[in-house]
A and B are shown apart, each in its own frame.
Chain A
């Protein structure tokens, strides 16, 4: 009996059945995301290359005008406003991510050294504030940093700020808000890394006469690096596109890219300019994700680093 002559009916019937199943389960969600997210994003990208109409709505012809505007070239010649906003976004992202790492690293380590039954509660305590609405959390900081509050008076007494100014609105308030907002995003992946830390390596390093600092650097830090990188992605990407915190705590001089983009769709009404800003944000996002994937793969973490 030669196998080549077999009728493929059972096999092809099964394949049709499986394909129909795939279609039935995956299609509703996939179509939903395509219609309500992929299509809108594609449209927005198109808008970036159109011309600004009289009511802020995009019109033909296609042009690169909005990118020129984003770089600061308007009909009044070049002005640095938008560029400042861009640089401020980068700077705030960098500083706040760095500060978040500095706070989260010891906290995550500390939780991992505590007794096992306390750890879930400690993690919960770190995470719960981020469950409350971002607007409310930021509003809390407005209350704390307003003129006349103890913190403001303290800063005034130390001569850090001018009398009756309060600590907000300011770039400092934005940084503080960002650190506050993103701290849990860094603690969780770092804690996961510390929890599965191979202590034998640390003991081996100490056994081989490493000082505490060197033992940390050679045995502990490399093991926590994947968690650290995951945390950096989770913090830096949304921080770069942040809207609420600079809007409430930053004032005019604390504006970030997110505010620039949003303003073009509400008050300022220049869709193409806003869309151009959004493209910039997307590029930054994908560069960040790609870089992390590369580094993550080299570290052997693979997929989990991105998630």
Chain B
């Protein structure tokens, strides 16, 4: 009897929590279709804020910046992080404590400390040498820095999960070092590489603080643009662009769900 009451109240609490988690996102989505520019009352349905987005050069260029930043940084991080992940695996019997500390540093450092140290560093280097002017370049550098550990750890754990004799079997079956990479290692860790790339991409798009401090005047990304718009005074256009970003996340979530379902089957 008592067990059933517990289960029922937990079910209620679950739905309440889900409402709590999705309410803010739902509100943003709802008001993006608001006919008036009131943020408090829904007066009718309209596409007008979305239409305005298309004409907004600033938003379009912020979107382009976000994409370039995410794709370039994830690609660089994938290569560099994959190498480290493999190195950590191959030499796991050595004393690599310093490397582990180095790898975890970007993960444990608070965003704000990460962002301002890079900013202070870039500003000074630029002042002294003329290199590293704050802009998309410095943002890419900063993003790669926090993506490397995630890629390295994902790749490393995939390698650790493999039977070590597979490496020997590849050698034994006449694969040269290059062929071992192409026909054995890369295909074997392909799932890890894909999820590492998507995680890096998500981290990059999701990041605000580090981008904010390492950005230059011309390199605003979508989150930075939205931040500025919020600070200036809320406009319903933000609802529209935010809704599009939420929709993108929802699509990614649906795809990942389908993938995990298929893997189970």
Q: Do A and B bind each other?
A: yes
Residues of A at the B interface (CB closer than 8 Å) are 18, 21-22, 24-26, 28-30, 32-34, 36-41, 43-44, 47, 103, 106-107, 109-110, 113, 120-122, 124-126, 128-129, 131-137, 139-144, 146-149, 180, 183, 212, 237-238, 240-241, 243-244, 248, 258, 261-262, 265, 271, 274-275, 278, 281-282, 285, 289
Residue interface mask B22-36, A partner, CB < 8 A = 1:
111101100100000
Q: Are A131 and B249 in contact (CB under 8 A)?
A: yes
In chain B, what residue has the closest Cβ to A153?
B40
A47 to chain B, nearest CB (A): 6
Q: Are A110 and B110 in contact (CB under 8 A)?
A: no
A11 to chain B, nearest CB (A): 16
Interface of B, secondary structure class, is: helix
With A110-B11, A149-B40: A274-B116 Cβ-Cβ less than 8 Å? yes
Q: Are A238 and B110 in contact (CB under 8 A)?
A: yes
Q: Are B148 and A146 in contact (CB under 8 A)?
A: no
**Separation of A132 and B22 alpha carbons in the complex (Å):** 11
**Separation of A103 and B21 alpha carbons in the complex (Å):** 12
B25 to chain A, nearest CB (A): 6
Q: Are B112 and A43 in contact (CB under 8 A)?
A: no
**Does B14 sit within 8 A of A, measured CB to CB?**
yes
**Separation of A259 and B98 alpha carbons in the complex (Å):** 32
**Does B108 sit within 8 A of A, measured CB to CB?**
yes
Contact of B28 among A34, A38, A136 (CB under 8 A): A136
Q: In the assembled complex, which residues on chain A have CB atoms less than 8 Å from the CB atom of B246?
A: 132, 136
Q: In the assembled complex, which residues on chain B have CB atoms less than 8 Å from the CB atom of A133?
A: 205-206, 208, 222-223, 226, 242, 245
Q: In the assembled complex, which residues on chain B have CB atoms less than 8 Å from the CB atom of A136?
A: 25, 28, 223, 226, 242, 245-246
Q: Are A47 and B120 in contact (CB under 8 A)?
A: yes
Q: Are B18 and A125 in contact (CB under 8 A)?
A: yes
B63 to chain A, nearest CB (A): 13
Q: Are A143 and B31 in contact (CB under 8 A)?
A: yes
**Separation of A241 and B114 alpha carbons in the complex (Å):** 11
With A113-B7, A128-B250, A131-B252: A26-B141 Cβ-Cβ less than 8 Å? no
Q: In the assembled complex, which residues on chain B have CB atoms less than 8 Å from the CB atom of A241?
A: 110-113
Q: In the assembled complex, which residues on chain B have CB atoms less than 8 Å from the CB atom of A109?
A: 10
Q: Are A148 and B116 in contact (CB under 8 A)?
A: no
Q: Are B17 and A103 in contact (CB under 8 A)?
A: yes
Q: In the assembled complex, which residues on chain B have CB atoms less than 8 Å from the CB atom of A33?
A: 102-103, 105-106, 145, 148
**Separation of A146 and B112 alpha carbons in the complex (Å):** 27
Q: Are B14 and A244 in contact (CB under 8 A)?
A: no
In chain A, what residue has the closest Cβ to B250?
A128
Q: Are B202 and A131 in contact (CB under 8 A)?
A: yes
